[in-house]
Amino acid sequence: MKLSSSLFALLCLICEIVSIALFLRGFFPVPVKSSFSAKIVMCSAGSGPNSRKAPEPLFKRVVIVLIDALREDFVFGSDGRRFMPYTSHVVERGSSHSFIAKARPPTVTMPRIKALTTGSIPGFIDVVMNLNSPALLEDNLIWQAKSAGKRIIFYGDDTWVRLFPKHFMEHDGTTSFFVSDYTEFVCKSMRSL
């Protein structure tokens, strides 16, 4: 059976469209978002009268300093040199904890923030959405802190403010997309401190 050239071209076009659709479906999967928000469950801590009472917080205040794209050796130095001596001293003294996160691609700001606050794995479609990030509706640490009555103040990249528009009692977001050098962004972020 001989196929005419126009029918063959049509079959090739259909195969190409199906192939591209399958590729895009696999490379940019539709994220499964949950509107479920975790609630605090009181656990039994024994058989005494206070067994249903939530434990008291260990600290009254917590300050989280998160510096995106900062390498570990820029803080703690290498070969015994200290580039940020106060930060190193606070960690060594034990009144602070450091956490070094190993980022996997995509390493742009918005997918990293979503991964950090929700525990989800970012996809490559998040890179495209980075410039126009909508409010984050999934269960996340910032929402949990706000619903627990914590006062959250934020200074830094305005991507956080776009992801969590009504979560901060006080905020000063600075755009990081149109800066000529890193010191300009740092100075703008630190102006309110």
Which pLDDT score, from 0 to 100, does residue 179 have? 63
- Domain endpoint, select from 43, 70, 100: 100
Give the separation between CA 39 and CA 135, rounded to whole angstroms: 21
Position with higher pLDDT, 88 vs 37: 88
The residue-averaged pLDDT of 106-115 equals 80
* Contact in structure between 153 and 86 (CB atoms under 8 Å): no
Is 138 or 127 the better-scoring residue by pLDDT? Answer: 138
Under DSSP, the state recorded for 157 is E
Backbone angles phi, psi at 14, to 5 degrees: -65, -45
What is the tally of structural domains in the chain? Answer: 2
Mean pLDDT check: name the lowest of 50-54, 136-140, 154-158. Answer: 50-54
Question: Quick one: pLDDT at residue 17?
Answer: 97
pLDDT digits (tens, 9 = 90+) for 139-165: 899 998 998 889 999 988 888 998 999
- How large is the average pLDDT for residues 96-101? 83
Residue 73: inside a domain, yes or no?
Answer: yes
The arithmetic mean of pLDDT across residues 34-41, rounded, is: 65
Residues facing 167 on adjacent strands: none
Does one domain contain both 129 and 77?
A: no
The answer on pLDDT for 39 being more than 80 is: no
Inside any domain, residue 27: no
User: Does residue 12 register a pLDDT over 90?
Assistant: yes
Same domain, 131 and 91: no
Q: Are residues 62 and 146 in the same domain?
A: no
Decide which of 51 and 104 is more confident.
104
In a domain, 129, yes or no: yes
Regarding whether 117 and 188 lie in a shared domain, the answer is: yes
Please tell me the distance from the alpha carbon of residue 159 to that of residue 81, in angstroms, as a whole number: 33
Could you give the residue ranges of the DSSP H alpha helices within the chain?
Answer: 5-27, 72-76, 85-93, 109-118, 125-129, 141-147, 158-163, 182-190
- 2: in domain: no
Burial class (CB in 10 A: 0-12, 13-18, 19+), 138: middle
**Is 65 found in the same domain as 95?**
yes
**183 is a domain residue:** yes
How many helices and strands in the chain, by DSSP H and E? 8, 2
Residue 88 lies in a domain: yes
Which range of residues forms the domain containing residue 78?
A: 58-100
The reported pLDDT for the residue numbered 18 is: 96
What percentage of residues in the chain have a pLDDT greater than 90?
A: 16
Q: Are residues 147 and 126 in the same domain?
A: yes
pLDDT in tens, 162-177: 899 999 999 887 776 6
Give the highest mean pLDDT range of 33-37, 38-42, 107-111, 130-134: 107-111
